[in-house]
Amino acid sequence: MKTFLATSIAKIKQSADAAYVWALAHKVAVTVIAVIVIGGGYYAIKHATTASAQTRYVLATATKGTVITSVSGTGQVSASNQVAITSKMSGQLIAVPVVAGQTVKAGQLIAEVDPTTAAYELESARISYDTLVTVKPADVNTAKESVSSAQENLDASYVSARTALINAMTSMTSVLTSTAALYTPSGYLSDQLYSRSPQGQQLHNTAEQSYYAAQTALDSFTSKERTLSASSANSDVESLLASGYSASIAVVQAANDAGDAIAYNRNDEKINGKDTTIADKAYTTATSNVSSANSVVSSISNAKNSISSAKRSLTDANTNVTTVVAGADVNSVRAQTLALRQKQQAYADYFTRAPFDGVLATVDAHVGDTAGASTQIATIITKNKIAKISLNEVDAAKVKIGDKATLTFDAIDGLTITGTIAQMDLIGTVTQGVVSYTVTIAFDTDDDRIKPGMTVSADIVTDIQQDVLTVPTAALHTSGNTTYVETLPGVATSTETSTTGITSLVAPTQIPVSIGLSGDDTTEILSGLTEGDVIVARTIAGTTAKTAATKTPSLLGGGTGAGATRAVGGNAGFGRGG
């Protein structure tokens, strides 16, 4: 035993020495292998600890609400409370019903520029709006009369169809009776009289088969037609028209095939110098049968087309009644409402009014004067303080006199008051290439803590839409010219409203939407969604998970998805180098 242990220990020592010698001789290989092993181990540990990270979706619901757009600016409380009142429109002044020193209220008329043209345009816009939204009883009655007329035409079409079916049955019976006579022993196409040439026999057989097929179709049609009565449903008439049409086509085919067989045999007779008198008579009969059968096809087709046309007219008339009663569509009303508001605003701009309560320090214009778009009409002294706010050229273009603003003050915590835009610079100030405009805001209320020179911040409301469908602005995405939101298939209610969101086994679906007014937090949805629809408000991406993911459907037909993570690994071992 001792000898065995000693021998084993010696061999192990020998192997270790050999490995040590090999490692010294292959330092670079050992280093590379060590890096691979350590790196692979780190990746495996890292992948094991993070592969479970999944993308999460914070949900929101499309709801009715209010969308507000605003611009912000900063400035100072002004020591001066005197504001110039200017005209917004050009034209002749026809009224200046104030004098210097007079106390005026906010909104009181200061001057009026001749608004004749604007008044005509406003009235025209009102007429267009009223015409669009007003449902006139006369229009409804006319639409309903069209329905009655269309129904009468449809009823008449069914009556005509019944007559056409009876006539068709009689005509087809006559044609087949005449055709059948050609195959009797005394008929031109009888087996005794007909040529026995291979081609002639083939035509003869085809004609006979067509005749029997037509007779079968006619028998089927006749049996159905005899069940038709005054109390039969209109659907029965339409079904019988289809059957009659099929029978008439078969009868035409039988008459045509008989004529082809006669024509071939008659031609043989001419070639052989035989008398063709009987053949000519038979051919005339066949030709007449073809003409009669084609007339039947036409009469049944006309009956079918008449019913189809009358049904379409009735559908259109009913649709028209619904449209007339419902009035104009939503988008048309919105467009006309916007046009009316624009004309109302344009008309109102001809009337210069006091922007706030105060005393007129001067009145600089008189009746008969010609005012320009920036002509000073008067100056007003406010009893309340004012603020002068600087806006950049983009924001200034969105603001107009009369807009409301919310004011806060750096020096007074918790104080928020409202104000009204009373004056705007007509010419901007350029500073280091940046254009800015000064806006004067009159305070709606006063507070003794507000001192001249204090820094003030203003949020000016430039537009507002109430009771409209809204979604969080952050939920909107764009792809080219398309705006869309994402929804999770199968998620019907927004049960998860926390910021952690939910996970999903399927990728979100893109829903194209049309948007209206866009605010800082919410955006108006014009189409694409309905109230209560659940959308993805925000996506929280997994940190390092790279497992294969389903491609997100793209509005442009493409899309990208995460590829499957490729495993890193392999077998490394030491070998002896020579």
448 located within any domain:
no
pLDDT class for 33, splitting at 50, 70, 90? low
Domain, as residue range, for 517: 56-64+468-540
Q: Judge if 531 and 556 occupy the same domain.
A: no
Q: How far apart are CA 127 and CA 562, in angstroms?
A: 58
First to last CA, the chain: 36
Q: How far apart are CA 434 and CA 440, in angstroms?
A: 20
Task: Among 285, 309, 326, identify where a domain stops.
Answer: 326
Q: Judge if 276 and 160 occupy the same domain.
A: yes
| pLDDT (0 to 100) of residue 173 | 94
Q: Could you say which DSSP state residue 270 is in? A: H
**Buried b or exposed e, range 348-368, using 16+ CB within 10 angstroms:** ebbbbbbbbbbebebbbbeee
Q: Judge if 362 and 479 occupy the same domain.
A: no
Q: Judge if 377 and 320 occupy the same domain.
A: no
351 located within any domain:
no
247 located within any domain:
yes
Name the most confidently modeled range: 118-122, 264-268, 426-430, 484-488.
Answer: 118-122
pLDDT class for 521, splitting at 50, 70, 90? confident
pLDDT class for 24, splitting at 50, 70, 90? low
313 located within any domain:
yes
Q: How far out from the chain centre does Cα 562 lie?
A: 30
* Tokens 């993070």 sit on residue: 50
Q: Judge if 507 and 567 occupy the same domain.
A: no
Element (H, E) at 103: strand 103-104
| pLDDT (0 to 100) of residue 455 | 93
Q: How far apart are CA 578 and CA 347, in angstroms?
A: 101
Q: Judge if 44 and 189 occupy the same domain.
A: no
Q: Average pLDDT over the chain, rounded to whole?
A: 82
Question: What are the pLDDT digits (tens) for 264-291?
Answer: 988 888 888 888 888 899 999 999 999 9
Q: Could you say which DSSP state residue 341 is in? A: H
What is the chain's Cα-based Rg?
46
φ and ψ of 84, to 5 deg: -80, 135
Quick check: 561 pLDDT over 90? no
Here the tokens at position 321 are 């009644």
Candidates 344, 349, 346, 419; CA nearest to 377 is: 349
C-alpha dihedral sign at 482, 483, 485, 486: positive
151 located within any domain:
yes
Q: What is the DSSP string of 359-421?
A: EEEEE---TTPEE-TT-EEEEEEESS-EEEEEEEHHHHTT--TT-EEEEEETTEEEEEEEEEE
Q: Are strands 434-443 and 386-392 parallel, antiparallel or unpaired?
A: antiparallel
Q: Judge if 564 and 529 occupy the same domain.
A: no
pLDDT class for 484, splitting at 50, 70, 90? very high
CA distance to 178, 199, 257, 264, per residue, from 194 (Å): 17, 12, 15, 10
What is the tally of structural domains in the chain? 4
